[in-house]
Structure 1
């Protein structure tokens, strides 16, 4: 079936990234399967993460269908694009329909993209993972593909203005080997292993990141445990309670 929307959007994204002269360091794309279904699982630190997650599949000539909150599909600009790219809307009060849709897509050989933290992490550290990705992989009989992004928060993240004027921002991406999700194992245990693997990839991406904050006013994008001024996970949880 022709991809009348997805491929032009990819072309636009590549043009935009070229104009910004983004320095994208991506390793592990060979771990994306060339055929068959898979669940691509990523950390979530930016509104642009799905674009970079989708780009990692292109060398293997694959397109990723992302599960995203329903409000994105209702937006006058993003809605038509999301529907045209065959992404999957998620109503958080009635998630069964989206889950069934994703299962059908996996069984038909699609790659489904999932952010198991559900929302952007303001601390830029991993939040707890929901078990949906593992359960989908189990039911569909497909692998989980862990990956991690770093640097995308400097472009556009929660609580910060978009930063599309500053050029040369590096983005580091690491894709890990596929993980099996046996049907006879507890989904929670698989989810813990998956989160551990994404954490390893995130730390690898952070170590490989070529720049550090340039001064006191540029520490917001670094997590507190690495010397930055981003709120800690505990501070974020406390703020969310209020």
Structure 2
């Protein structure tokens, strides 16, 4: 089926990233299956994470259908694009419908993208994972593909102004080996294993990140446990 919206949007995003001179470093894309369904799982630190997560799958010529909050689909600009790219709206009051939609997509051989933290982490550390991704993978009989992003928070994140200047910001993307989701295992155990794998990838992405804060005023994007001034996980919970 022709992708009349998705591919032009990808082209526009790549043009924008080139104009911003973003330095995108992707490793591990070979772990994305070339065919068949999979649940792609990433950390969530930026409003643009779905774009970069999708870029991680492009070397395998795969398009990702993301689960996103329903309000994005009602927006006059983003709504038509989200529907045209066949993403999956999530109404948190009626989550069963989104779950069924995602399950159909997986069974038809699509890759479904999930941010199991549900919301952006303002501490830039991993929050707890919801078990929906594991349950989807179990029921559809597909693998979970862990991924970690780093640097995207410097472009546009919650509580900070957008930085759409030609800023040369590096973005690091790491994709890990599939995590199997056997139907006879407890979804909570699979979720814990998945979170551990994403944490490992996140730490690898942070170690590989080629720049450090320029000065004391530029430490906001570095987690507190790494010496930065981002909110601690406890402080981030208070922020909501």
Q: State the TM bucket, normalised to the shorter chain.
A: over 0.9
- Superposition map of 1:114-129 within 5 A: 114-129=114-129
Give 2:214's aligned residue: 214
In the aligned structure 1, how far is the partner of 2:56 from the partner of 2:215? 32
Give 2:237's aligned residue: 237
Give 2:76's aligned residue: 76
- Superposition map of 1:171-186 within 5 A: 171-186=171-186
Deviation per residue, 1:188-221 (Å, 9 max, x gap): 0000000000000000000000000011110000
Q: Does 1:131 align with 2:123?
A: no
Give 1:107's aligned residue: 107
Give 2:32's aligned residue: 32
- Superposition map of 1:47-58 within 5 A: 47-58=47-58
Deviation per residue, 1:151-201 (Å, 9 max, x gap): 000000000010011421000000000111000000000000000000000
How does the TM-score come out when normalised to structure 1?
Answer: 0.98
In the aligned structure 2, how far is the partner of 1:11 from the partner of 1:65? 17
Deviation per residue, 1:72-119 (Å, 9 max, x gap): 000111000000000000000110000000000000000000000000
Any unmatched runs of 5+ in structure 1?
A: none
Question: Does the CA-based 8 Å contact 2:146-2:176 persist in structure 1?
Answer: yes
In the aligned structure 2, how far is the partner of 1:236 from the partner of 1:27? 29
User: What is the CA-CA distance between 1:236 and the residue it aligns to?
Assistant: 1.4
Question: Any idea what SS the aligned residue of 2:171 has?
Answer: strand
In the aligned structure 2, how far is the partner of 1:167 from the partner of 1:159? 19
How does the TM-score come out when normalised to structure 2?
Answer: 0.99
Deviation per residue, 1:115-143 (Å, 9 max, x gap): 00000000000000000000000000000
Question: Does the CA-based 8 Å contact 2:41-2:114 persist in structure 1?
Answer: yes
Alignment RMSD (CA, Å): 0.6
In the aligned structure 2, how far is the partner of 1:166 from the partner of 1:6? 25
Task: Kindly tell me the number of residue pairs found equivalent between the two proteins.
Answer: 240
User: What is the CA-CA distance between 1:239 and the residue it aligns to?
Assistant: 3.3
Any unmatched runs of 5+ in structure 2?
A: none
